[in-house]
């Protein structure tokens, strides 16, 4: 059920952004492709679990397909957001087994908060990552908490609206540095930030 909710949450976030007129077609096409790939992989994983019956798999597939159809419909209805592109990228790092923002992380977010205030129609993607300590499940949840901490800080400090930000977690699955590299673990404890804005 956690996997089902995770997939549906991402799909719904993309759909809501479109319906509210806050994302470009190219941007959402990209995100939907990523979500579909992740959804397909998770469905296969669920099928392999002995405790999961066929009805659960069918229900997950149907819900994902339904939301995908709604997103396609919203895409066809959206106008005026074809010019959105990446206008800023950044990274904030975290201490071991922590999702609390360090003072350095807060300093790094200051420029982002001001930029989002200046670009009132911009959208922010917040993706949490971890090192390879701990279980995959724990790290996925830790990545989610790190992303949520960044979002909360931007809301509290800069009044950024919720609908302008969405979060995701890759846990330990997408390291920026391999374990045998210097400072690999500290580099992998991060949140990647991607700000999308309308070119003028």
Instruction: Give the residue-averaged pLDDT of 45-63.
Output: 60
| Both structure tokens of 62 | 């149907």
Query: Do 26 and 120 belong to one domain?
Result: no
Q: H helices within 119-174, ranges in order?
A: 136-158
Q: Which residue has the higher pLDDT, 63 or 84?
A: 84
| Both structure tokens of 90 | 């950044």
**Structural domains in the chain (count):** 2
Q: What are phi and psi of 169, to 5 degrees?
A: -140, 135
d(CA 14, CA 35) in angstroms, rounded, equals 10
| Both structure tokens of 147 | 């992303």
d(CA 121, CA 109) in angstroms, rounded, equals 18
Which of 5-9, 91-95, 103-107, 144-148 comes out lowest in average pLDDT?
A: 5-9
Domain boundary among 77, 101, 122: 77
Query: Do 93 and 191 belong to one domain?
Result: yes
For the chain, the C-alpha Rg in angstroms (whole number) is: 18
**Residues 22-35: pLDDT tens digits?**
555 565 566 656 65
**Residues 158-177: pLDDT tens digits?**
999 999 998 999 999 999 88
Query: Do 60 and 97 belong to one domain?
Result: no
pLDDT at 129 over 50: yes
CATH number at residue 141: 3.30.1330.60
Show the domain range for 178.
Answer: 84-198
Query: Do 144 and 114 belong to one domain?
Result: yes
Query: Do 105 and 148 belong to one domain?
Result: yes
Domain boundary among 34, 62, 77: 77
Work out the end-to-end distance of the chain between its first and last CA atoms, rounded to an integer number of angstroms.
43
Using a cut of 0.75, tell me whether the model's pTM lies above it: no
Nearest Cα neighbor of 8 from 69, 71, 60, 82 is: 60
Query: Do 105 and 59 belong to one domain?
Result: no
């Amino acid at each position: 059920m956690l996997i089902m909710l995770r997939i549906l949450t991402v799909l719904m976030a993309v759909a809501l952004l479109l319906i509210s007129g806050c994302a470009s077609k190219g941007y959402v096409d990209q995100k939907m492709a990523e979500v579909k790939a992740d959804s397909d992989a998770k469905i296969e994983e669920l099928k392999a679990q002995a405790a999961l019956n066929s009805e659960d798999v069918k229900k997950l597939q149907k819900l994902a397909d339904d939301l995908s159809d709604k997103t396609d419909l919203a895409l066809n209805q959206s106008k005026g957001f074809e010019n959105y592109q990446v206008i800023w990228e950044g990274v904030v790092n975290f201490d071991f087994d922590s999702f609390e923002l360090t003072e350095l992380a807060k300093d790094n977010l200051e420029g982002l908060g001001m930029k989002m205030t200046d670009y009132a129609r911009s959208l922010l993607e917040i993706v949490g990552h971890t090192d390879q300590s701990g279980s995959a499940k724990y790290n996925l949840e830790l990545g989610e908490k790190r992303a949520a901490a960044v979002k909360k800080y931007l809301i509290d400090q800069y009044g950024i609206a919720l609908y302008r930000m969405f979060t995701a977690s890759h846990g330990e699955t997408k390291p920026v540095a391999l374990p045998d590299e210097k400072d690999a673990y500290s580099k992998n404890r991060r949140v990647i930030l991607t700000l999308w804005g309308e070119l003028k």
